[in-house]
Amino acid sequence: MLDNLILLENIDAVASIIESGNRFVVLSHKNPDGDAVGSSIALMLYLRSRGKEAVVVLPNRFPEFLSWLPSADEVLYYDTDAECAKAAFEDADAFFCLDFNLLSRIGDAGEVVAALGAPKVLIDHHPQPSQEFSVSISHPEACSTSELVFRVIGRLSGVDAVSYEMAQAIYTGMMTDTGAFAYASTRKDIYIIIAHLLEKGIDKDLIYRKVFYNHSLSRMRLMGYVLYDKLKYFSKYNAALITLSHQELMRFYAQKGDTEGLVNQALQMKGVRFSCFFREEVPGKINVSLRSVDDFPCNAVAAEFFNGGGHKNASGGELHCTMDAAVELFKVALQKYKRELTE
Ligand code: 5GP
Ligand code: MN
């Protein structure tokens, strides 16, 4: 049996927000990943199944390997369709904020939403949520926001209310946020939920292939190049670094999503406890991805050195500098955290 992780008072608060409203907006974070998109679509489909109007608004587009998700083509993007998104915001009776813990994490859309009076419901698994939400369903112990959406729907309407399409989206989010159940996935509840999702008829092997076995030839070449030439091992610090300049990304025709997962590959190396990936998507702007194992808090490094944050074992940030300067900063961070990395 699945336990009742989420507080009853929060479930009651969400129930009354849904009952008393008609139009809802589901929001998730910038550079949306499988959990952001999966959890948002599942909740949108649930709200619609209750006879409500619901739309997902994301700050920018998600990678191509998620485009098969049900209703993925109905998502609105704030960067390319701000007018439409703002109209939905104005009409919203409540906002559901999924897979992020701070409104500024959704870019300009966050400022617009913050200024509106409609209730904001947080459903998220990042640590240290901000206090700006009317209802806060925040559980860092959950493997994903998608797990929490399953729990919310189950508590509000019973597991029968989860449709096949919702199950596909929820499974995708749980799978992507755990590297296909390779990390952050030891709690047995996860597999109780998966059993429910399988009962809805999802094909988990097919979902795996759609998401992870969907690389272009140029992505395969990029992976080879990274492992052969760009992976640096800092053995004294149990750390690894991958860098890709804007020029290198262009050389491999890298599309959105083509660099997904590279930062995790460095963790496959014996001895590596901390992995860092710098990619210069726009000249002069470097996106930072960090991953770690066990107790090493890469979110602390992200906050201290890379203008970011995230989970203990998966975090990110951004830098506005040259790649050389970023590499120097990484070395300073390694020195600062040497004890934690080597003890
Ligand atoms: P990724 O490396 O996949 O882009 O991000 C990994 C994790 O770090 C995600 O959970 C994401 O929410 C978090 N993250 C990425 N970039 C940032 C950032 O700039 N600020 C904060 N606070 N978290 C971030
Ligand atoms: Mn997540």
**pLDDT tens digits for 266-319?**
999 999 999 999 999 999 999 999 999 999 999 999 999 999 999 999 999 999
Cα 258 from Cα 216, distance rounded (Å): 8
Residue 177 Cα to ligand 2 midpoint, Å, equals 6
DSSP class of residue 273 equals -
Q: Name the pLDDT band for 1 (thresholds 50, 70, 90).
A: confident
Structural tokens at position 50: 């209750």
Residue nearest to atom 19 of ligand 1 (CA): 317
Instruction: State which ligand 1 atom lies nearest to the alpha carbon of 101.
Output: 22
Q: Is 277 exposed, middle or buried (0-12, 13-18, 19+ CB in 10 A)?
A: buried
Q: Which long-range contacts (CB under 8 A, 24 or more apart) does 305-311 make?
A: 305/329, 305/330, 305/332, 305/333, 309/126, 309/128, 310/126, 311/125, 311/126, 311/127, 311/140, 311/184
Cα 125 from Cα 190, distance rounded (Å): 14
Cα 310 from Cα 315, distance rounded (Å): 4
Structural tokens at position 95: 């906002």
- Quick count: other Cβ atoms within 10 Å of Cβ 73? 7
Ligand nearest to the CA of 313: 1
**pLDDT tens digits for 3-39?**
999 999 999 999 999 999 999 999 999 999 999 999 9
Average pLDDT over residues 60-87: 97
32 lines ligand 1 (CB under 6 A): no
310 lines ligand 1 (CB under 6 A): yes
Output the pTM of the full model.
0.96
pLDDT at 113: 98
Are the C-beta atoms of 242 and 278 separated by less than 8 Å?
A: yes
Ligand nearest to the CA of 37: 2
Identity of residue 172 = T
Cα 96 from Cα 10, distance rounded (Å): 13
110 lines ligand 1 (CB under 6 A): no
DSSP class of residue 258 equals T
Percentage with pLDDT > 70 across the chain: 100
pLDDT at 276: 98
Task: Say if residue 343's pLDDT is above 90.
Answer: no
Instruction: State which ligand 1 atom lies nearest to the alpha carbon of 126.
Output: 10
**Candidate of 315, 318, 319, 320 to mutate for ligand 1, largest count of ligand atoms within 8 Å of Cβ:** 315
Dihedral sign for Cα 304, 308, 309, 313, please: negative
Please give the helix or strand (H or E) that residue 243 lies within, else none: strand 239-244
Average pLDDT of the chain, as a whole number: 97
